[in-house]
Amino acid sequence: MLKHRGFPGRLPGTDYQFVIRRPNPKGVTPITRRERFRDRKPADKRADAGFMRALWENFGDQPFERGNLDAGRLSWLFGREVLAVDDPFDPESYESLLVIDVEVARRSFPEAFEG
């Protein structure tokens, strides 16, 4: 499992996790598309925006390996702002390649691309 050095471990000041420390001995948690409903808590929305900012700052528009990125956090963006590169995509592989759909991500999280 690739460890993304320099990637923030969590959203500052919260318990919203961005990376995992070690592989899950019971098996890899799959990445699945999670629906984001309008009534989500503001803290959850900030966590999504913070994670998108970290992805953008670390990888830009280039493909990146899932590695130690948290599957739960990725799942909130998967299928919209973050897309699979591999065909077929293996949602249970730490080596799966992903890429940011920059147009969709800028519309969804404009604050992640400021500055």
DSSP string, 1-32: ----TTS-SB-TTS--B-B-SS--TT-PPPP-
Calpha distance 101→93 (Å, rounded): 20
How far is the C-alpha of 45 from the C-alpha of 113, rounded, in Å?
15
Mean pLDDT on 34-46: 91
Contact 92, 28 (CB under 8 A): yes
Q: Report the distance separating Cα 105 and Cα 69, nearest Å.
A: 18
pTM, rounded to two decimals: 0.92
How far apart CA 68 and CA 88 sit, in angstroms, is 21
Q: What is the pLDDT of residues 82-100, one digit of tens each?
A: 999 999 999 999 999 999 9
51-88 pLDDT per residue, tens: 999 999 999 999 999 999 999 999 999 999 999 999 99
